[in-house]
């Protein structure tokens, strides 16, 4: 391969950052009007979509059109699905307890504290995590097997999290399940089908950037950061801390894998 188009890629980094922060600042304005900061969860997927689309436009004439189209479409499909799912799930609800807890630490304006610690931080994370999507746009060589391997892993991850989300939504919709722990379907194999699905999605997108050694090198940190967020950051760790006091949680956790899907443990 001819390697990464470095000059174009460097310029594109700025456009991608502008897209990510534009989505987050717009969402901040919406949050002020609505009086809740949970809307930033919707913006997470939208910001990745914006970065992919802006990078696609900025990379015109520099990267292989097939690879550019594939990585943009996959990122947008994941981001829009996630945004719609979170928007539907949060409709009619007040502030997320996570943000209430976070903003209780504010010394001074809660909104300015939210801007610094939530919106601007998430904008920076979107830019960092999306480096494989950005880099893949500027690879000029023909599409290789890594693109299709990455697309396959992406598809598996998206299907896994979408099925898990649908199963959980049906479970919660049944009044008979109120107060119960979801332990059916994919949720009997892993306590976090949605986070594991995201994990596969972003390693799949990274594989697409691995179609060229330069793309792999400049974006290697990104899937590691996303994995750390899902397992040790605002994903699994934070959610399980909130769930730990619920009836039946300890028994569920004892028999169900914490992240990677595995058969339920017997005897628990």
Neighbours of 268 (CB within 10 A): 11
Alpha helices by DSSP H, 139-235: 145-173, 193-209, 213-218, 221-232
Structure-block tokens of residue 56: 């696609």
- Determine the Cα–Cα distance for residues 138 and 128; give it in Å rounded to an integer: 16
Structure-block tokens of residue 238: 């934070």
What phi-psi label fits residue 109: left (phi over 0), alpha (psi between -120 and 50 degrees) or beta?
A: beta
Structure-block tokens of residue 81: 């699905």
Structure confidence by residue, pLDDT tens digits, 111-152: 999 999 999 999 999 999 999 999 999 999 889 999 999 999
What DSSP string describes 81-102?
HHHHHHHHHHTT----HHHHHH
pLDDT, residue 106, reads 83
- Tokens 């793309």, residue? 215
Low-confidence stretches of the chain (pLDDT < 70) are: 1-2, 267-268
Structure confidence by residue, pLDDT tens digits, 203-218: 999 999 999 999 999 9
């Amino acid at each position: 391969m001819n390697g990464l188009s470095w000059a174009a890629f460097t310029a594109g980094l700025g456009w991608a950052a502008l897209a990510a922060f534009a989505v987050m600042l717009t969402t901040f304005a919406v949050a002020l009007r609505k009086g809740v900061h949970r809307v930033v969860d919707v913006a997470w997927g939208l910001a990745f979509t914006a970065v992919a689309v802006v990078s696609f436009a900025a990379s015109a004439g520099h990267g292989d059109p097939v690879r550019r189209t594939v990585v943009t479409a996959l990122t947008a499909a994941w981001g829009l699905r996630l945004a719609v799912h979170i928007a539907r799930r949060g409709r009619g609800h007040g502030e997320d307890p996570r943000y209430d807890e976070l903003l209780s630490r504010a010394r001074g304006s809660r909104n300015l504290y939210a801007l610094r610690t939530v919106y601007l931080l998430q904008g920076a994370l979107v830019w960092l995590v999306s480096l494989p999507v950005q880099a893949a746009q500027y690879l000029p060589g023909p599409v290789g097997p890594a693109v299709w391997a990455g697309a396959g892993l992406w598809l598996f991850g998206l299907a896994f999290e979408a099925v898990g989300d649908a199963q959980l939504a049906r479970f919660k919709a049944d009044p008979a399940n109120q107060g119960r722990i979801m332990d059916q379907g994919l949720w009997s194999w892993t306590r976090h089908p949605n986070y594991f699905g995201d994990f596969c999605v972003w390693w799949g997108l990274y594989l697409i950037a691995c179609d060229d050694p330069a793309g792999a090198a400049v974006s290697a940190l990104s899937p590691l950061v996303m994995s750390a967020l899902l397992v040790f950051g605002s994903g699994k760790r934070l959610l399980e801390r909130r769930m730990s006091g619920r009836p039946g949680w300890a028994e569920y956790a004892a028999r169900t894998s914490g992240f990677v899907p595995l058969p339920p443990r017997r005897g628990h």
